Amino acid sequence: MKNRCVPLRCTHPTKMPEYQPVLLAQVGKAESHTLRAYEQAGGYQALKKSLKEKTPKEVTEIVKASGLRGRGGAGFPTGLKWTFLPQNHPGPIYFCLNADESEPGTFNNRVLMEEDPHQVIEGLILSCYATNATTAYFYMRAEYPLAWQRMQRAVDECYAAGYLGKNILGSPYSLDIFLHRGAGAYICGEETGLIESLEGKRAWPRIKPPFPAVEGAFRKPTVVNNVETVACVRHIMDRGADWFKSIGVPPDPANPRDAGSYGPKLYCISGHINKPGCYEAPLGLTVTELIDRFGGGVWKNRKAKAAIPGGISMGLLTADEFHCPLDFNGPGKFGCLGLGTAAVVVMDEQTSMVDFLLNSCRFFSHESCGQCTPCREGTSWATKMMLRIKAGRGRLKDLDLLAEIGDTIGIMPGTTICGLADGAAWPIKNCIKKFRPELEAHIKRTNPSGWGETKAVPAMELVGIH
Amino acid sequence: MPTVIVNGIEVAIGEKERLNGIQAAERAGVEIPSYCWHPGLSVVASCRMCLVEAGKKDEKTGKIAMQPRLVPACQTPATDGTIFVTNSEKVKNSRAMVEEDLLLRHPVDCPICDKAGECNLQDFHFEYGQKERRADIKPFTSRRRSLGDTVTLFVDRCVMCSRCVRFTREISGTSELMVINRGAQEEIDVFRNDAGEIQFPLDNKLSGNVVDLCPVGALGDKDFLYKQRVWFMRSHDGVCANCSTGCSIKVEENQDRIYRLKPRENPHVNQWWMCDEGRYGWKHVHDSRRVTQLRRREKTGYAPLDWSRFAGELDQKLRQTGRLAAVVSPNLTVEEAYLLSTYIREIDSDALLAVGPVPVEGTDEKFPNGFTIHAEKCPNRKGVEAIVSRLSGGLLNWDDFLARVESEPVGAVWLTGGYHQPWNDTAIAEKFSGVKTLIVQDCFASPLWDRADYQIPAATFAEREGSYVNAKDRLQSFRWAIRPPAGVLTEGQLYWQLLKRPGLYRAAEVLQAVAREITYFTAAMEGVPEHGIDLKVNQLAEPTKTPAIVA
């Protein structure tokens, strides 16, 4: 357990007797990662049933009917994504499982892969069956050695037991899973960046269209789904679409573009709380509920100041906004980008927002792939300004420049190819909008003689950044 | 006809044309700035300079629906009803943003940069940039490293358009260049070992093109580096004379001195590229060993002659020596070959006409995109052969000619050279021992030159005027780019004088006569367009492919 950098607590919610965890049901039990334990708990029954009784089309229809939305961050309806594949394609169709979980604060895929890998594989086989894919690439981030070992072992067990390979369980369907390890780049989690990286190239996201469903890995139709998404598919096939739809939040009638947020979700909570960890709850839980019921409250008897709703790229919620429901539609109402990966990072009242913003800017400038000019230069410029502010040489004008960078980079204004820049922009925008007085106070306090300067100032000598 | 609307201007495009926004806007006379896009390379849409507003006009209702986001024009196909807006506030702001971004880490060392004056970053910043720097002022940095024998990289000037990387992958197919590091630390480089030594240098035969492709001053040509400011040079359209591909080129000179050759776009010949052999194949033009003195052999040695009286003297001499022979070099233009052959046959209708030696080195080299470097290292074999075979009724090659000279009595032989590689030796020179009057017209001294009775200094490709026919029967005309060095008269002008034509040599006039007289050149009758003319265009298709056309 040495490699665990985040204390994982994957416990069952005790104060919510009405909800029994599904995705985390086996987590914490002895030998939960082995095939024997998984089969004893009813594993691979959904696969057996589906392969025998359902056609791929029917599986797709069930997933579509369940209202399952992608758990990777964007929340795109999974069943709909599958139907974008060309009909009657001669093949091959590829399935890429996105296990490059690198959004700061997020570790739900890791829990699934380490503690219940067979659940992921069963979901993956079902998803591949539905999409007629006969090859699946399991793209895992390099920083997960235990998950890697356990997944590899699980895949080996599956081949031995006939769940993978030629004619699975006597059916005409065959599937091969290839585990592929990334090399530690955030951008490989972007679906076309992942495909490029898988092909052995630089993970520079591709221009869309064509979307991967039409032309993806090795120029063939490709589906890219998140680990948690396929784990959900396993349970949908096990318990039915109606069960899935009975959990979560129906669409907001005021928002015609909201497709509803159904099903269970793995919430990761970390930061300044007493019990950080990964918890399962129905979609629609509020931040307050998550902190109080699961996270054990803010640490050291302090008050919370802000929280990241779902991975650092989603923006920032102030403590007054903690009633925000964590469903696909919720954080957007509070000026955030979206639910993201539902990884909540709580900051207590002693946290400096200058530190938060510097950290966020530094992360994105480090992870920008460097393809599009506005993202490459905008993120690095923002980092340099934040470093200067942090060093006590900030100007009020810097905040305007930062806000301008935040408003102009990303796929929303159309200035970049992929969404990394949007992720970089949102914390900047939210932080400046919601915490401007604090940032201004910091600048005025630390730079009493120069905070009003509006002309260009000499750059600081920076090590490692140019 | 599909119609594209650019800033309200309607432009008709071809039914089957596949244009992007940049190309469609160009038709409407609107410039859309870009760095990463190049018509010859794949589209990456990463520089984001060409962002425009785009939309679609409904054919039936006439309703216009604009996309809410900016889109890269390079990646947006122009189809019927596509609307591009390139002059809105939104577009202007986005261009200003990209320009500001690109200058954040740029050294702005234009005064010492070779690209200054033809730099996209400079031009676009002037046109679309912001008027003052808002980012922190950073000390000037200029890191430079070599990528190979011919190309050097000024790291900090790079705008990461990745054109050079794509070129080595898609056109030369050699993939020497790559992007290293990530984000703002990204740089172009070649593979190096831990000590930083180059393992795979940029040394393919098309490598010089990456310098032309570079929209800024990041990639520098070591040969041209710090030699000349670009605004001092004049550019002349020319044709490369180094092999029978006949790439369209630009000869860039200042005061009759060439500083560089660049490829000129020609979809039928070289597209946008040229090889390094051709690119640096102009050094002989300014070689100090070039012969520049017209001389006549006398008993005591060579005596200088004066050009003003030379034509008369030579003419007289040739009319007295008996049987004549002329060797027409494949370095001569069609027009010069025609004038020389006509002149010789006019004096002696039985004169021997032969084509000079055709230098061949190795085999043809073909690159993935179809670009070919031919093994035949002379520009005009096909053109000269067509002239010689028509005017002498048969084709005599160099080897056969040497045999005939040895065995048959010949009064005077006129040899034309113009090669920049050695083309004869003592053994060959010996074969001309029986010739009474040997006239050698060449750029460099050689055993034959030393044996000549008349030594006539010759011009090089940059000094000539006329037309070359390449390996694919495409005839391209060009004018002289520089004047020949003092003491040298171009071949065309000398032949013109010998034929007693008035005034200056006019190649276009000669080509008209050639086209009228020789079927092979008929297509050139109406003049030669910029991209040259396919001489086979008037020939009937081969009967195996299509049935004969019935009138």
Condensed to tens digits (0 to 9), the pLDDT of residues B320-378 reads 988 999 999 999 999 999 999 999 999 999 999 999 999 999 999 999 888 999 999 99
Helices (H) and strands (E) in chain A, counts: 15, 11
**Do A331 and A412 have their domain in common?**
no
Contact criterion met (CB < 8 Å) for B184 and A368:
yes
Preceding peptide of B263 cis, ω within 30° = no
| Cβ contact B341:B386 at 8 Å | no
Residue A278, pLDDT above cutoff 50: yes
ipTM, interface predicted TM-score of the complex: 0.91
The pair of structure tokens assigned to A196 is 């490029």
Spatial distance between the Cα atoms of B331 and B379, rounded to a whole number of angstroms? 6
The pair of structure tokens assigned to A256 is 């015609």
Spatial distance between the Cα atoms of A333 and A330, rounded to a whole number of angstroms? 6
The strand ranges marked E within A182-283 are: 222-226, 248-249, 261-262, 264-271, 277-282
Residue A256, pLDDT above cutoff 90: no
| Cβ contact B425:B267 at 8 Å | no
Condensed to tens digits (0 to 9), the pLDDT of residues A167-224 reads 999 999 999 999 999 998 999 999 999 999 999 999 999 998 899 999 999 999 999 9
A315 lies in some domain: yes
Spatial distance between the Cα atoms of A411 and A434, rounded to a whole number of angstroms? 23
Residue A12, pLDDT above cutoff 90: no
Residue B551, pLDDT above cutoff 50: no
The pair of structure tokens assigned to B478 is 């060009």
The pair of structure tokens assigned to B436 is 């009474």
The pair of structure tokens assigned to B358 is 């055709």
The pair of structure tokens assigned to B354 is 């032969």
| Closest chain B C-alpha to A396 CA, distance in angstroms | 13
**To which residue do tokens 């200035």 refer?**
A415
Residue A337: CB partners within 8 Å, gap ≥ 6? Answer: A313, A314, A315, A331, A422, A423, A426
What's the pLDDT at A466?
45
**Do A269 and A231 have their domain in common?**
no
A235 lies in some domain: yes
Give long-range contacts, CB 8 A cutoff, 24+ apart: A333-336.
Answer: A334/A309, A335/A429, A335/A430, A335/A433, A335/A434, A336/A309, A336/A310, A336/A426, A336/A430
Condensed to tens digits (0 to 9), the pLDDT of residues B183-194 reads 999 999 999 999
Contact criterion met (CB < 8 Å) for A384 and B136:
yes
A206 lies in some domain: yes
DSSP A379-430: HHHHHHHHHHHHTT---HHHHHHHHHHHHHSSTTTT-SSSTHHHHHHHHHHH
A27 lies in some domain: no
- A contact set with B (CB within 8 A): 185, 202, 204, 207, 365-374, 376-381, 384-385, 388, 401, 408, 411-417, 456-460, 465-466
**Do A167 and A270 have their domain in common?**
no
B214 burial level (CB within 10 Å; 0-12, 13-18, 19+): buried
**Do A122 and A69 have their domain in common?**
yes
Spatial distance between the Cα atoms of B394 and B387, rounded to a whole number of angstroms? 10
Contact criterion met (CB < 8 Å) for B44 and A371:
yes
- B contact set with A (CB within 8 A): 43-49, 51, 67, 69-72, 75, 93-94, 97-98, 101-102, 104-105, 132-139, 141, 159-160, 179, 181-186
Residue type, B169: R
Mean pLDDT for B116-130 is: 95
What's the pLDDT at A410?
93
What's the pLDDT at A15?
45
pLDDT, chain B, mean: 93
Residue type, A31: E
A254 lies in some domain: no
Residues in chain A: 466
**Do A340 and A373 have their domain in common?**
no
| Cβ contact B447:B426 at 8 Å | yes
Mean pLDDT for A75-97 is: 94
Inter-CA distances, B239 with A302, B251, B417, B485, Å: 79, 9, 18, 20
CATH number at residue A296: 3.10.20.600
Closest CA to B97 of A304, A405, A18, A390: A405
Q: Count of CB atoms within 10 A of residue A183's CB?
A: 9
From A414, A460, A465, residue closest to B69, measured CB to CB: A414
Contact criterion met (CB < 8 Å) for A373 and B46:
yes
Mean pLDDT for A146-160 is: 96
Condensed to tens digits (0 to 9), the pLDDT of residues B439-472 reads 999 999 999 999 999 999 999 999 999 999 999 9
The share of chain A scoring above pLDDT 70, in percent, equals 95
Expressed as residue numbers, the domain containing A396 is 353-446
Residue A2, pLDDT above cutoff 70: no
What's the pLDDT at B140?
80
A301 burial level (CB within 10 Å; 0-12, 13-18, 19+): exposed
A10 lies in some domain: no
How many domains is chain A partitioned into structurally?
3
What's the pLDDT at A460?
85
What's the pLDDT at B548?
43
- Beta-ladder partners of A226: A98
Q: Which residues of chain B does A366 touch, with a Cβ-Cβ cutoff of 8 Å?
A: 182-183
Residue B539: pLDDT band (50, 70, 90) is: low
What's the pLDDT at B543?
47
**Do A323 and A357 have their domain in common?**
no
A316 lies in some domain: yes
- Beta-ladder partners of B249: B238, B263
**Do A287 and A311 have their domain in common?**
yes
Domain boundary among the residues A246, A279, A304 is at A246
| Cβ contact B386:B511 at 8 Å | no
Closest CA to B278 of B221, B208, B211, B227: B208
**Do A336 and A388 have their domain in common?**
no
Domain boundary among the residues A345, A363, A385 is at A345
Condensed to tens digits (0 to 9), the pLDDT of residues A362-390 reads 999 999 999 999 999 999 999 999 999 99
Side by side, the strands of the sheet bearing B533-534 are B466-469, B474-478, B533-534
Residue B9: CB partners within 8 Å, gap ≥ 6? Answer: B28, B29, B30
The pair of structure tokens assigned to A152 is 């590899």
Residue A316, pLDDT above cutoff 70: yes
**Do A336 and A358 have their domain in common?**
no
The strand ranges marked E within B36-175 are: 51-57, 64-66, 71-72, 77-78, 82-85, 144-146, 151-154
The pair of structure tokens assigned to B275 is 């090889």
**Do A358 and A336 have their domain in common?**
no
Pick among B67, B132, B185 to test the A interface (most A CBs inside 10 A): B185
The pair of structure tokens assigned to A447 is 């730079």
Q: Please name the residue ranges forming H helices in B438-479.
A: 447-451
Mean pLDDT for A9-29 is: 71
Closest CA to B333 of B180, B204, B485, B459: B459
The pair of structure tokens assigned to B277 is 């052999």
| Cβ contact B36:B74 at 8 Å | yes
Spatial distance between the Cα atoms of A375 and A365, rounded to a whole number of angstroms? 8
Spatial distance between the Cα atoms of A425 and B135, rounded to a whole number of angstroms? 18
Spatial distance between the Cα atoms of A176 and A153, rounded to a whole number of angstroms? 15
Domain boundary among the residues A322, A345, A368 is at A345
> How many residue pairs from chains A and B have C-beta atoms closer than 8 A?
115
CATH number at residue A126: 3.40.50.11540
- Name the packing angle between helices A145-161 and A117-131 (round to 10°): 60
What's the pLDDT at B50?
96
Contact criterion met (CB < 8 Å) for B101 and A374:
yes
Mean pLDDT for B281-292 is: 95
Spatial distance between the Cα atoms of A376 and B462, rounded to a whole number of angstroms? 45
| Cβ contact A174:A166 at 8 Å | yes
A12 lies in some domain: no
What's the pLDDT at A462?
67
Spatial distance between the Cα atoms of A91 and A94, rounded to a whole number of angstroms? 8
Closest CA to B24 of B50, B42, B49: B50
Q: Which residues of chain A does B93 touch, with a Cβ-Cβ cutoff of 8 Å?
A: 408
Contact criterion met (CB < 8 Å) for A459 and B70:
no
**Do A196 and A120 have their domain in common?**
yes
Contact criterion met (CB < 8 Å) for A207 and B49:
no
Residue B290, pLDDT above cutoff 60: yes
* Higher pLDDT among residues A403 and A256, named by residue: A403
Q: Count of CB atoms within 10 A of residue A49's CB?
A: 12
pLDDT, chain A, mean: 92
| Closest chain A C-alpha to B261 CA, distance in angstroms | 32
- Beta-ladder partners of A317: A307
| Cβ contact B353:B340 at 8 Å | no
Mean pLDDT for A405-431 is: 95
Inter-CA distances, B449 with A9, A150, B428, B470, Å: 94, 83, 11, 28
Q: Which residues of chain B does A372 touch, with a Cβ-Cβ cutoff of 8 Å?
A: 46-48
**Do A58 and A143 have their domain in common?**
yes
Closest CA to B414 of B446, B445, B433, B442: B442
Spatial distance between the Cα atoms of A312 and A422, rounded to a whole number of angstroms? 11
